Amino acid sequence: MDILKRGIGVNFNAHNEAVVNVWAPDATQVSIATGTLVLELKPDLAGYWSLCTALIQPGDVYWFIIDKEQRLADPASLAQPDGVHGGSQAINTAYNWSDSSWENIPLHDYIFYEIHTAAFSHEGTFKGIINRLDHLIALGITAIELMPVASFPGKRNWGYDGVFPFSVQESYGGAAGLQELVNICHQKGLAVVLDVVYNHIGPEGNYLSAFGPYFTDKYKTPWGNAINFDDQGSDGVRNYFIENVLMWFRDFHIDAVRLDAVHAIKDFGALHILEEIRCHTSLLLEKTGRKHYLIAECDLNDPRYITAIGENGLGMDAQWVDEFHHALRVTAGEPARGYYEDFSGIQQLAKSYKDAYVYTGMYSVVREKTFGRKAFGKTNDQFVVFSQNHDQIGNRMLGERTSKLFSFEMCKLMAGAVLFSPFLPLLFMGEEWGETNPFLYFVDHSDPALIMQVRNGRAKEFAAMFDQGKTPDPQDEATFNQSRLNWELIGEHQHACIFRYYQQLIALRKKYFSFTSHEAPGVSILEAQNSLLLERKCADPTQLIWCVLNFSTEQLVLDIPAHLSISTELVNSASSIWHGPGEPSTTGLTGQISVQSESFIAYSAKYV
């Protein structure tokens, strides 16, 4: 594999010749067709078929023909102008980049903002995101995270039903539109993270099996047969996904990828596919001098995923931590049903602040087994936390955001809990102004049987957690339209206020906490009061930030710890400037303080 250029699909060399490579190990003949032209490929090593020709040009729509019978789109297609059932379009990914001075920011400075391209703006495109970047910069965001952009069936989709991992959805703006977005983000100082899905391929428009053993019945996943990473004939499959990661980094200048649900990747070979992706990514970094990160979504509480390869790990740089979210939500009043049943509240939130994982070898009622292990020796910037994200909203039956489930005061408290945590914070689009529109699950399939299967599957999924109301129809366009952001809200009174509040929290985080990747915060639990006290260290070893998180509905009177001297109140969510009920009367910053119900306060302090 040449790490510096794409080795599969249709690509163009310096002479503007099309270099064609496709993996079809069981074929006896492979051709490429465009218009009336049909060109035969030659068998190459390890099941690949290849051709170099000047007869295919950028813009041409083409098909592969397998054994003179099957006419199929390119598995490594870069564009599907006529949808997932149409032909592939040859494009040249060369782009006039102007980001040569861009250096990816340190991971500990990432403040993520998750975006669904279609639902984020009125335009529903990468251009629509570009038009709102200044809003994100004003908020204080340092990295946007795009939900998957791989070509999917129909006009609308969450993104996790993509069937062409290399092809950027045409309605979003295609490959060139994504490159433009990344280029402008870098000009404005923003990193770009892309969500990629390597644990399954969507059900409609998935023709990979016609080319080779991309799937195996050796394992089952929630989406059917697993992708074949370790069974017979898996070398070409592994190469396919390694090429995909490298393409995003090399040809699109993506700064980090978020690998969806890696716990559903089934690979029991000696060299795990994630480790191999890490190795090739590291080699690319050496060749280009650029920095890229690999971030995994994983619910196994297994630190091996974020342990260096040299220490017998899989080499991911960081991971999402759903357990922080679950503990936070239950502490705030979320009913402990469904997957929340394992969480009882304040004790587990405190544990997550200290250990990231909640379950580190304890019995899980939901999993019906002892679960997890401690993440010894890991740094805070290896964990991403949030109070909401696409999954935790969209996997609710009615797609309610935090702003619809909790009081205004509790929403501000939860924002403080995330942004003053020692971990990397992630916001979900619209959270910063208290968006009230839901974010529902939506698709646009064409197969009636599949549509019914999705409808029934969603209803069944919600049965354990929600017992009221009718599940919105994922296929109905109205479900998608309800999920679009309402940008007009941001100028309204309370929404404008919470936006300023988020700005303040982020500014304080940047000022005090950007360096603290190794810090272990001090955490004290006031269980009877459903409250936490956090001590966060600063650059000056004698200084710290002391935070009070009162999740109860009662005012809290606290003795200031004897080892602390409090100097300045940095932020108080109950303050009238944040449209709160106002600070309660207090005796000052010595002796005792009073804390309003459902509020977050942070003080600058020093050790006595």
- Residues 178-223: tens digit of each pLDDT: 999 999 999 999 999 999 999 999 999 999 999 999 999 999 888 8
Place of tokens 């960081």: 318
- pTM, two decimal places: 0.96
Least confident of 56-60, 111-115, 117-121, 223-227: 223-227
Q: Under DSSP, is residue 557 helix (H, G, I), strand (E, B) or coil?
A: strand
Is 260 annotated as contributing to ligand binding?
yes
Residue 223 has a pLDDT of 80
pLDDT tens per residue across span 543-578: 899 999 999 999 999 989 988 999 899 999 999 999
Cα separation values, 514 from 106, 404, 517, Å: 9, 31, 8
The mean-pLDDT minimum among 273-277, 361-365, 466-470 falls in: 466-470
Encode pLDDT of 317-347 as tens digits. 999 999 999 999 999 999 999 889 999 999 9
Can you give the pLDDT at residue 583? 81
pLDDT of residue 467: 57
Q: Mean pLDDT throughout 49-54? A: 97
Q: How confident is the model at residue 403 (pLDDT cuts 50, 70, 90)?
A: very high
Domain pair 9-89 / 521-607, same fold: yes
Q: Is 109 annotated as a binding residue?
A: no
Give me the CATH topology for the region 521-607.
Immunoglobulin-like (2.60.40)
> For residue 522, what are its two tokens?
């001090």
156 marked as part of a ligand binding site: no
CA distance 299 to 265: 12
**263 among the known binding-site residues?**
yes
Determine what percent of the chain is predicted with pLDDT higher than 70.
Answer: 97
Is 260 known to be catalytic? yes
> What mean pLDDT value characterizes the chain?
94
What are the E-state strand segments in 235-284? Answer: 256-259
- The yes/no answer on whether domain 9-89 falls in CATH 2.60.40.1240 is no
Is 518 annotated as belonging to a binding site? no
Q: Considering only 132-136, 443-447, 463-467, 502-506, which range has the smallest mean pLDDT?
A: 463-467
At residue 112, what is the residue type? F
What pLDDT, on the 0 to 100 scale, is given for residue 62? 98
Q: Could you say which of 145, 204, 251, 260 is catalytic?
A: 260
For this structure, is 297 an active site residue? yes
More confident residue, 224 or 100: 100
Give residues with Cβ within 8 angstroms of 67, minimum separation 6.
Answer: 27, 28, 29, 30
Q: Is residue 235 annotated as involved in ligand binding? A: no
- The pLDDT confidence band at residue 534, using thresholds 50, 70 and 90, is very high
Domain boundaries, the chain: 9-89, 441-477, 521-607
Kindly name the residue from 195, 231, 251, 297 that is annotated as catalytic: 297
Q: What is the mean pLDDT of residues 467-488?
A: 90
Residue 463 pLDDT class (50, 70, 90 cuts): low
Q: Is residue 381 part of an annotated ligand binding site?
A: no
> Per the annotation, does 261 bind a ligand?
yes
pLDDT at 468 > cutoff 70:
no
H helical segments located in 383-527: 390-394, 402-405, 408-419, 448-462, 477-482, 493-513
